[in-house]
Chain A
Amino acid sequence: MERLLAPRFGQSIHVQRPGVVLGILLVLSLVCVTMYAREGDDGAIHSLQSAVSGIFVPLKAASGGVSAAEQSISDRVTDAQADPNSLTALREQNEQLRQRASALEEYRLEAERLEGLLEMRTTYQAQGVPARVLSRSTDAWNQVVTIDAGAVEGVRAGLPVMGPSGLVGQVVSTSDHASDVRLLRDSSSGVAVIIQSSREEGIVHGSIEGLLYLDDISDEVEVNPGDVLITSGLGGGYFRGIMVGTVLKVEGEAGATTRKIIVDANESADPLEEVYVVTSMTSKLAEPEKDLNDTSGSGTAGSDALAGYADLDGDGVAETYVGGETSNGYGYDAYGTGAY
């Protein structure tokens, strides 16, 4: 291995100059970090990151297999514990029936999930690509899943991804036949939403503990558990009208600046297995809502509030976030248009 690094110096570097190797590698690492921080999403290191992610798709798929095997073993252990006196003459037959029943149950659940996706697709009149979840992220810092549809199937970065009950995330990178989807509960995710009942706008963002929070909503607005949140379409990253979740808990009263609104995510109830990447929506819901307070007839409700949110550098100029491009300097993309 050391020969690869120092072919001309051979053993002498290995034995006498490990410090030189250390220095070179440290400098290389720092160069990479600096380049990564300075370049945009289309930069060389970001592209390399996407490419490597694509290369590792078969391994990630194996991870999904391990997960399934783990589930199967867990089921068997549970079964064994539940029925410890099953050493009878019918044990073998019983086992076969159990396996068949398990397989049928699996098909039934899958059919149920697919039916949900189909229903959702019909409701939203959404066109897109159905996909299966291959694997989950390999580190604790990201909530990203890999799906088995990529550029060849028509998936591209920035498209919203829906589960059986609504929005679950957004495509962040694609390879030929796989894509990475950043889930809403990732701390760098964010989506502009409206509360369906009051039409008030806000931002739902993920967090490191995996919860969704509704922020940037006026302190005076009454928010109650059970309120439904849908995408507002602002920012261009998501189509309008997709269900994001429901308000689960409100900590603090209306008017309090420290109020915390926790949102129940669509994909929190079940592990995500099948998703639908939305390429277009023809539903009336997807059309922008006319701003009732906007006398000029342009803009959408609450757009000023959102512009104010984006003006974080205090220069009085709202950073723009149009067509999937953001420059809000907030660290995460508050409008759900992709990775920071």
Chain B
Amino acid sequence: MGGRVGIAAIGALLALVLQVVLAPNIAIMGTMPHFVIAYTMVVSLLVPGTPAYVVAFCLGMASDLLGYGPVGALPFILLIMAFAIGRAESAFGNGTVFVSCSILVVFVILAHFLHAAFMVAMTSTYSASEAFLLIAIPQSLYDSVLAVIMYIALRRMFSPSPSPGGIGSSGLRLR
């Protein structure tokens, strides 16, 4: 477990660095990826529970402190999403990549929509239609792709090591 938590922590730092250094440079038509949201959702799916909550809080807080929005909004949303995605995975997940990725995509989109709703509610700067159409939808699509790639890349790293002599494979199951 400790190893998985360590990987999650290192990944969180990396996600933050990528958000600052890389994200502004890989924007597509003004749509910037949100590594923080994508990574938190992936970690919540792979290591549900306390590690996911801590990652969600720390990354969300760091992201808010780096920007100019209401501080505390993103960690609040990420915590709720981290809790919900863990529950969804235990309810609907059957160990296949397809189902996990579907859950991931749904929650990435939900996280962006909740964030947009928070921004609209907390600051009267943005109109709801603009916030959803111009930021939440394109960004959630971008992040969905990013999160699926992250999930497939990190799945093996976060999978519990097989017990000595145990039978099983940590390979991908598509269905």
Contact = CB atoms under 8 A, between A and B. Distances in A.
Given A2-B5, A2-B54, A208 B134 contact: yes
Contacts of B1: 14
B139 interface: yes
B95 interface: no
A338 B56 CA distance: 30
B123 interface: yes
Nearest to A331: B124
B51 A2 contact: yes
Interface string B76-105: 100110110000000000000000000000
A33 B69 CA distance: 10
Contact of A138 (B23, B57, B123, B139): B23
Interface of B: 1, 5, 8-9, 17, 19-25, 27, 30-32, 34, 49-51, 53-57, 60-73, 75-76, 79-80, 82-83, 119, 122-127, 130-131, 134-135, 139
B21 A36 contact: no
A63 B60 contact: no
Given A21-B50, A26-B76, A141-B119, A63 B25 contact: yes
Given A1-B5, A29-B72, A22 B53 contact: yes
Contact of B68 (A14, A25, A35, A49): A49
A1 B54 contact: yes
Interface residues of A, number: 55
Identify whether the interface residues of B are mostly helix, strand, loop, or mixed.
helix
Interface string A163-192: 000000000100000000010000110000
A288 B29 CA distance: 40
Interface stretch (A51-59, A110-118, A219-227, A252-260): A51-59
B50 A13 contact: yes
A32 B61 contact: yes
A29 B123 contact: no
Contacts of A67: 24-25
Contacts of A172: 68
A266 interface: no
B51 A1 contact: yes
A86 B61 CA distance: 52
A37 B122 contact: yes
A33 B73 contact: yes
B126 A208 contact: yes
Nearest to B62: A52
B68 A36 contact: no
Contacts of B5: 1-2
Given A21-B54, A28-B57, A140-B135, A36 B66 contact: no
A309 interface: no
Given A52-B65, A139-B63, A141-B119, A36 B50 contact: no
Interface of A: 1-2, 5, 13-14, 18, 21-22, 25-26, 28-37, 45, 48-49, 52-53, 56, 59-60, 62-63, 66-67, 70, 135-142, 144, 172, 182, 187-188, 207-210, 330-332, 339-340
Contacts of A48: 65, 71
B135 A208 contact: yes
Nearest to B122: A37
20 contacts: A14-B49, A21-B50, A21-B54, A22-B79, A26-B76, A28-B72, A29-B73, A32-B75, A34-B72, A59-B17, A66-B22, A135-B20, A138-B19, A138-B66, A139-B69, A140-B135, A187-B130, A188-B125, A331-B123, A331-B124
A277 to B, nearest CB: 19
Contact of A330 (B56, B75, B124): B124
A1 B72 contact: no
Given A37-B70, A49-B71, A144-B68, A14 B50 contact: yes
